[in-house]
A = this chain, B = another copy of it.
């Protein structure tokens, strides 16, 4: 394995690390970040996954959310993947909502994307195997959270492996990708025009299966992507019709930024820890 530690910072008693490695799944060099709490008592510790939004790398959450304070308080490791395959030879697009920085956490089937854009398998298989070697005293318990495109990713990945993840949460997620511009653009590009293929990557479809982990969603009312891209109506209707409990909360005056995430992250960690221990 080509895993290489490229950064290490002490943070709130634990360690914020950054690694690069060659991904066999994505066929390119990748970077990710991980936080390891101090774990002075050498207890078994769980792992929370964080998936970031469009244009982000592993740095946004690491540097802007202040999550390390909470991860150390709760003694939980946090894994932060990048948002797409990277590198000169990887297909890209002029827009910021497609191609690099916009992998949508799915496995692409259309050329030229099918060669590298397999963020789903990268996270659930390859990066998961790496995480389990990096977290000392790993309890095997996992949960997943994310923001915007990464909120979509957390919901889709969490629901596709509903027995593996103990809780799912999202800030301002894309809840019905097949009905909004960001999702339609990404799905038609990565998966093709046949909308039947879109359903297995659509949180509003997956939730119909029922039996999902507990879900918490937080949305700011002043988020300027809210009406066009992040509408919750269809998702919540499907959840209700299938007896899936979703804690959906709106926060007055908050926008789409990390200032919003940082404010309510403590609620999300608290929610996850209720189900991780």
Taking Cβ atoms with an 8 Å cutoff, the residues of A that contact B are 9-13, 16, 63-64, 66, 68-69, 220, 222, 253-255, 257-260, 262-263
Report Cα–Cα, A253/B16, bound state, in Å: 12
Given A68-B262, A69-B262, also A10-B63 (CB < 8 A): no
Main secondary structure of the interface of A (DSSP, over half): mixed
Q: Does A66 contact B262, Cβ atoms closer than 8 Å?
A: yes
Q: In the complex, which residue of chain B has the Cβ closest to the Cβ of A60?
A: B63
Q: Does A257 contact B222, Cβ atoms closer than 8 Å?
A: no
Q: In the complex, which residue of chain B has the Cβ closest to the Cβ of A16?
A: B259
Q: Among the interface residues A68, A222, A254, A259, which one has the most CB atoms of the partner chain B within 10 A? A: A259
Which of B9, B63, B220, B255 is A63 in contact with, Cβ under 8 Å?
B63
Q: Which residues of B contact A10 (CB under 8 A)?
A: 220, 222, 253-255, 259-260, 263
Q: Which residues of B contact A9 (CB under 8 A)?
A: 255, 257, 259-260
Q: Does A11 contact B66, Cβ atoms closer than 8 Å?
A: no
Q: Apart from A11-B260, A63-B64, what 14 extra A-B contacts exist at CB < 8 Å? A: A10-B254, A10-B255, A10-B259, A10-B263, A11-B262, A11-B263, A12-B262, A13-B263, A16-B259, A63-B63, A66-B66, A68-B262, A68-B263, A69-B262
Report Cα–Cα, A64/B65, bound state, in Å: 8
Q: Which residues of B contact A253 (CB under 8 A)?
A: 10
Q: Which 3 A-B pairs have the closest CB atoms?
A: A66-B66, A11-B259, A9-B259
Q: In the complex, which residue of chain B has the Cβ closest to the Cβ of A266?
A: B69
Nearest CB of B to A40, in Å: 13
Q: Which residues of B contact A63 (CB under 8 A)?
A: 63-64, 258
Q: In the complex, which residue of chain B has the Cβ closest to the Cβ of A12?
A: B263
